Structure 1
Amino acid sequence: MKKKPVIGITMGDFNGIGPEVIAKSLLDNKIISQSIPVIIGNELVFKDIFNKLNIKKNINLLLPPIYKNILENSINIYSIIKLKNKDIKRGFSTEKGDIAAFQSLKEAITLCLKGEIDAIVTGPLSKSSLNRRGHFFQGQTEFIAKESGCEKYLMLMVSKQMKVGLVTTHHPLSDIPSLISEKLIVEKCEILYNSLRDDFNISNPLIGVCALNPHAGDNKLFGDEEEKIIKPAVKFLQKKGINIEGPFSSDSLFFKYRTSKFSAFLAMYHDQGLIPFKLISFNKGVNYSAGLPLVRTSPDHGVGYDIATKMIADETSMKEAIKLAIKIVKRRSH
């Protein structure tokens, strides 16, 4: 029998909705039958969540090295963080919640690089809270890339309806024109093309590239980045044999997604790509870190402090993140 992929799931900020959506996701028989999930975080947090959700599952506590005592069809928890009941303050950002989220992420990366888990699915955490407490933290994608020694990677949003890659990610909008370059667009597009082919099994993917300016600059009337930067990048990639078209005005490009011939879109900045993606795929989409030496996915939502005490969080995006990680691990193993 072929070994099931071991999927490490970080709990994120335990005061948010991460533990809740993880617990609900592990009730999905498809996930349990096709993988061995391992929660990386704290057992007390999940015992409390299971109790609140009336989930009755066997918990298997793991000790290092975890591969020696992982059990199938059980809730495997690698409890690396010491907490007391009083530390759990759902709905509030706390230092212990932030530190625990960071530690579980760091441990998951270590386990994946050592080969003890096959993929990482990251629970949501608060970037602003971590930075406020003195940890420079641009994002989980960027941190994983740094820890794994990877300089070239791509934030790729994935759903059944569309795939959107981003040239730039978490930057002020005012900085975007100076950050975009022909070299960067080529780099991101090559990662996107390779991921579509290798991770998503699309034999000859076609990529649609967004313009930066309104109406694609309208012959330099509203900016010249299309003529000076984006078009030369597209032409260079076409000469290399990559199937790519653009730049197109993003309002019309995304509007045609239902009948689009494109396998994926490449947006110039965060909200240009994320607004249409979430409008169509919110709570169903997945953030996939393409180009990394390891497989990492995450749900497309944040920490959700405002509903963390209500037990009403929608787990669909977390389930899709786990399922996508399973699929990519299996494809890469062939």
Structure 2
Amino acid sequence: MTHQDKPVIGISCGDINGIGLELIIRAFSDSRMMDLCTPVVFASSKVVNFYKKTVADSNINYQNIKDFTKLNPKQVNLFNCWEEEIAVAPGQLTDEAGKYAALSLQTAVAALKQQQIDGLVTAPIHKKNIQSPEFSFTGHTPYLRAMFEVPDVVMMLCAGNFRVALVTEHIPVGEIARHITKEAILSKLQLLNQSLQRDFGIDTPRIAVLGLNPHAGDEGLIGNEEETIIRPAIREAKNKNILAVGPYSADAFFARRHFEKFDAVLAMYHDQGLIPFKALASGEGVNYTAGLPVVRTSPDHGTAFDIAGKGKADISSFLTAIFECIDIIRRRGQYVENRKNPMKKVNPEVFERLEDEAI
């Protein structure tokens, strides 16, 4: 990392007709944020000024930059990604808004690759209007995976010590089962385990794995993926010194708050993990992309077109995403320092004790 004491945090503006710019303005109207990081917002001064007028008590001070050697650590730095006038229509789904959301993200990721910023917080995009020949991804996570050329990443939602990761992300429900393979589960478990150690400072992470079917298949009565795919993946993960336990029946697992005994939960698909997460995390969840060589967080909500431009957006999740980005950058630095003491092999009795405790 290049700025250990006070990291440079890039912020992409998201859909210009959504709540992203309002969140950015409200978050950085508090000058204390500049004590924690040096923010760089990727947008345009014209769009920022439009939203400044919609935010009551806006107190954001920024300087325009085109050169990362001219960063001011005491105020917001606005990197103008475009100069032209564009129509801002809060709450409207337009192709133009998607085009500039992509431009903000692409410019920010280029800066991240060149280590001009230390981490990235992404404001929400809309998956439909951002599609173009230059951007054909279902969201931030697959785009970042492609840009950093890594074989796999994990979408993980975090709220304090409550973390839910996904095997599959934004795919139709009818296609989920064929994407649940032993190889996919094992890859996600390895990345999740590594991220919990490196990014969250947990020496021996405890990971719960959910089943795919209702009641985790009821021993083959309601589907057999648990027996033929998920259990073998968990067994192989244990052989690789990963403290993974399951598969658990998803409904009972969350209803009985078993997640409190684990450092992370691996869900098989989007709604299985994210509905309970969002219900239980009370608005302060953060989306984190584990498995990248860089740090990227985002709030756990969307563009919220219904309240865009009305000054009503809740900044809790966005603020937490900024704080988490800063914290993960610091923890990664500490992890590198501590690598001289590699993790000891987990005693098999620990697996058995955890399984007994968690059920």
TM (norm. structure 1) is 0.95
Check the 8 A contact 2:97/2:129 in 1, yes or no: no
Provide structure 1 residue ranges, at least 5 long, that are not aligned to the other structure.
none
Distance 1:252 1:302, change over 3 A: same
AA paired with 2:300?
Answer: D
Check the 8 A contact 2:162/2:259 in 1, yes or no: no
Q: Deviations over 1:217-264 (max 9, x none)?
A: 111110000000000001111122111110010111122337731111
Shift of 1:282: 4.3
Alignment partner, residue 155 of structure 2: 155
Distance 1:10 1:118, change over 3 A: same
Alignment partner, residue 127 of structure 2: 127
Alignment partner, residue 261 of structure 1: 261
Check the 8 A contact 1:207/1:265 in 2, yes or no: yes
- 1:31 and 1:58 map into 2 onto residues whose CA distance is 12
Shift of 1:34: 1.2
Check the 8 A contact 2:165/2:265 in 1, yes or no: yes
Alignment partner, residue 246 of structure 1: 246
- 2:141 and 2:125 map into 1 onto residues whose CA distance is 12
- 2:64 and 2:259 map into 1 onto residues whose CA distance is 48
Alignment partner, residue 55 of structure 1: 58
Alignment partner, residue 9 of structure 2: 7
Alignment partner, residue 41 of structure 2: 39
Provide structure 2 residue ranges, at least 5 long, that are not aligned to the other structure.
335-359
Distance 1:186 1:259, change over 3 A: closer
AA paired with 2:202?
Answer: I
- 1:80 and 1:233 map into 2 onto residues whose CA distance is 45
Check the 8 A contact 2:206/2:244 in 1, yes or no: yes
Alignment partner, residue 28 of structure 2: 26
Alignment partner, residue 81 of structure 1: 82
- Corresponding residue SS for 1:265: strand
Shifted more, 220-229 versus 72-81: the winner is 72-81
- 1:297 and 1:93 map into 2 onto residues whose CA distance is 24
- 2:19 and 2:282 map into 1 onto residues whose CA distance is 16
- Corresponding residue SS for 2:293: coil
Equivalent runs, 1:99-248 vs 2, <5 Å: 99-131=99-131, 135-160=135-160, 162-248=162-248
- 2:294 and 2:50 map into 1 onto residues whose CA distance is 31
Alignment partner, residue 275 of structure 1: 275
Shift of 1:133: 8.5
Check the 8 A contact 1:109/1:148 in 2, yes or no: no
AA paired with 1:222?
Answer: I
Q: Deviations over 1:126-151 (max 9, x none)?
A: 10122388842211111011011112
How many percent identity over aligned positions?
37
Shift of 1:333: 2.2
Shifted more, 255-264 versus 110-119: the winner is 255-264
- Corresponding residue SS for 2:53: helix
Distance 1:30 1:231, change over 3 A: farther
- 2:123 and 2:285 map into 1 onto residues whose CA distance is 14
Alignment partner, residue 94 of structure 1: 94
Check the 8 A contact 1:161/1:280 in 2, yes or no: no
Shifted more, 249-258 versus 304-313: the winner is 249-258
- Corresponding residue SS for 2:142: helix
Check the 8 A contact 2:186/2:233 in 1, yes or no: yes
TM (norm. structure 2) is 0.88
Alignment partner, residue 343 of structure 2: none
Check the 8 A contact 2:43/2:104 in 1, yes or no: yes
- 1:104 and 1:134 map into 2 onto residues whose CA distance is 13
Check the 8 A contact 1:167/1:188 in 2, yes or no: yes
- 1:161 and 1:146 map into 2 onto residues whose CA distance is 29
Q: State the superposition RMSD in angstroms.
A: 1.7
Check the 8 A contact 2:22/2:309 in 1, yes or no: no
- 1:10 and 1:113 map into 2 onto residues whose CA distance is 14
Check the 8 A contact 1:121/1:325 in 2, yes or no: yes
Check the 8 A contact 1:284/1:316 in 2, yes or no: yes
